Amino acid sequence: MKRILLSILLTPALGIAQNIPQYYTNIDFSQPKNIVKQQLTSTITNGYRGRSYNDVWNILKRADEDPENKQNVLLIYGHSGSTNNGSQTDRSRKKNLNGGGSGQWNREHVVAKALANPKLTTDTGQAGTDAHNLRASDVDWNALRSNKKFANGSGNSGDVGSNWYPGDEWKGDVARIIMYMYLRYGNRTHPNNIGVGGNSEFNIKDMPDIFLKWNVEDPVSEFERKRNEEIFRSQNNRNPFIDNPYLATLIWGGNKAEDTWGIDPLSTNDVFASKANELRLYPTTPSTNENIKVSEKVNSVHLFSIDGRLVSAQTKITDNFNAPAQQGIYIVKMLSAANNKAVSKKIIVK
C-alpha cells in the first residue's frame, strides 16, 4: 500500500520539479502560503546587488527596449502610436531622449516613493533604485500620475477620480511589480497603500483584489520576460510573478492566473486517471480542518496519509467532509453513491 501510494504521488511531483527554474529550487511550493511567501522573499533578497540611481538609466535602456524598434524604449502608461513627437501619451521613444524635460522620458517609480512608509530613497542600493520598480515613462505623464494610488478602470491610462489607472496594456505589469515590491520590502511597500479597493481573498487582507484581477486579465508579455532577464543580469534577482503569475494565486487567492510551472495542485489532483464526469473535490489545498465539498454524493470517505495510514473514515452518505487536523499530503478514497465506483484523489492540507 505504501509503495503504491508513494509511486503514484512522486511521479507527478518529479514532473513539476523539472519545470521549476533553478533560481527557485530551494522553495517548497507545497508548504503553507505564508511559508512560500517567506521563502520567496529570502530568494529575491539574498544575493541582491544594489545599483546606483544613475546606473538605472542604462539598465532601463536595455530592459525597456522596444522589441519593434531597438533604438527606442517602451513608455509605461503610454498608448499612442506616435513616437518621439513629444506627446505625453507616446508609447515608444528614442533611448537617448532620457532626462527631465517635456518630450523626454524619465524613471517612473511604479510604487511611488511617497506612498511607501518610510518613503523610498534613491541612495545607491536602496529600495528607490530597485530596477524592478522603475519603468521608462514620459516625463509629463509621469508627473500627471505623481503619487496617486492605482484604481480600477478601462481603456487607456489616466485619472480615475483622485486615483490612477495604468491602462489595459500595463495593468498586469503594474500588479506584478507591486507584488514583487511587497515581497522584497515588506510592509514598507504594503499594497494596501498603493492601490484602492477591497481585499476579499483569504484572511490576510494584504493584497487588494484589483492587483490579483489585473495579474489574470493582463498576462505576462514577452517584453516583461525579457525585462526580468535583463534586470536579473544587472542586480542578480528576479520578479517571481513574471516567472510564474500563479504564485500570486497560490499566496493570495483569487481567480487562477497562468501557471507556467504546473505547480497548481488542481492540475495533478487526480491520483488515478480521471474523466470529465468523475468526482471532484473543492478545495484541493484546504487549511487544517477546513470543510471540503464533493461534487456529488458519496457513500463513504476514507483519508489516508502519504505512508498509507488510515487517518479517518466516514461511512454515511455525504457530499462534504473535513480536512485532517495536521498539514501534509493525503489520499482521499471515496465510493460514489451513484454507481458505487471507488475514486481516489490527492489533497494538500496547508
DSSP per-residue string spanning 259-328:
-SS---GGGG-BSS---TTS--EE-SSPPTT-EEEEEEEEEEEEEEETTS-EEEEE-S-EEEEEPPSS-E
Alpha helices in 108-221 (DSSP H): 139-145, 171-185, 209-217
pLDDT of residue 272: 34
Q: What is the pTM of this model?
A: 0.75
What phi, psi does 250 have (nearest 5°)?
-60, -40
CB atoms within 10 A of CB 32: 15
pLDDT of residue 317: 76
Radius of gyration of the chain (CA): 23
Q: What is 2-9+265-349's CATH number? A: 2.60.40
**Helix or strand holding residue 17 (H, E):** helix 2-19
Q: How many residues does the chain have?
A: 350
DSSP line for 206-262: -S-HHHHHHHHHSPPPHHHHHHHHHHHHHHS---HHHH-THHHHHHH-SSPPP-SS-
CB atoms within 10 A of CB 44: 19
Question: Cα separation of 312 and 109, whole Å?
Answer: 53
Q: Which three cell numbers stand for residue 207?
A: 493584497
Quote the distance between the C-alpha of residue 167 and its chain's center.
19
Sorted by sequence, the CB contacts under 8 Å of residue 24 that are 6+ apart come out as 40, 43, 240, 243
Question: Cα separation of 64 and 68, whole Å?
Answer: 12
Q: Which three cell numbers stand for residue 161?
A: 477620480
pLDDT in tens, the chain (350 residues): 344 344 444 444 444 445 889 999 889 887 788 899 999 999 999 999 999 999 999 999 999 999 999 999 999 999 987 655 668 999 999 999 999 999 999 999 999 999 999 999 999 999 999 999 999 999 999 999 999 999 999 999 999 999 999 999 999 999 999 999 999 999 999 999 999 988 875 546 899 999 999 999 999 999 999 999 999 999 999 999 999 999 999 999 888 899 999 887 655 443 333 444 567 787 888 889 889 988 888 888 988 876 667 888 887 778 888 999 988 888 888 888 887 778 888 888 87
CATH 2.60.40 location in the chain: 2-9+265-349
CB-facing half-sphere around the CA of 196: CA atoms within 13 A: 12
Amino acid at 282: Y
Q: Exposed, middle or buried, 47 (CB in 10 Å: 0-12/13-18/19+)? A: exposed
88-104 burial, b at 16+ Cβ within 10 Å, e below that, comes to bbbbbbebebbeeeebb
